Amino acid sequence: MVTVGTGIGGGIIIDGKLLRGAHGAAGEIGHMNSVPDGLPCACGRNGCAEQYASGNALVRDARALAASRRGEAGLLLSLGGGMPEGVQGVHLTKAA
């Protein structure tokens, strides 16, 4: 199973049993390195997949683009109360 939401999660079930792995995190694909020396992650490493392909990553990137390209981000900024920091995931969905 793979979940994509604010982060990226996953689990592996084999023969009806959850595969935990040596450290209890088997299937935790959101923290697999995807970009060498990439963006820092809350897990303490860099370049994890969820830094690039999660809801939180989408909001972070949208806020940055809205801040740097305000003229093109009018709808998104208005949904976020006029400030890039106000933009939430629900606003991205609505704008799309």
Which stretches of the chain bind Zn ion, using CB under 5 A?
31, 41, 43, 48
Structural tokens at position 93: 């969905």
Assess contact for 20 and 35: CB atoms under 8 A: no
Rounded to 5 degrees, what are φ and ψ at 91? -70, -35
CB 24 to Zn ion: min, Å:
15
Nearer of residues 59 and 73 to Zn ion, judged by Cβ: 59
CB 80 to Zn ion: min, Å:
26
Rounded to 5 degrees, what are φ and ψ at 18? -70, 125
Nearer of residues 57 and 76 to Zn ion, judged by Cβ: 57
Assess contact for 52 and 35: CB atoms under 8 A: yes
CB 73 to Zn ion: min, Å:
28
Nearer of residues 31 and 63 to Zn ion, judged by Cβ: 31
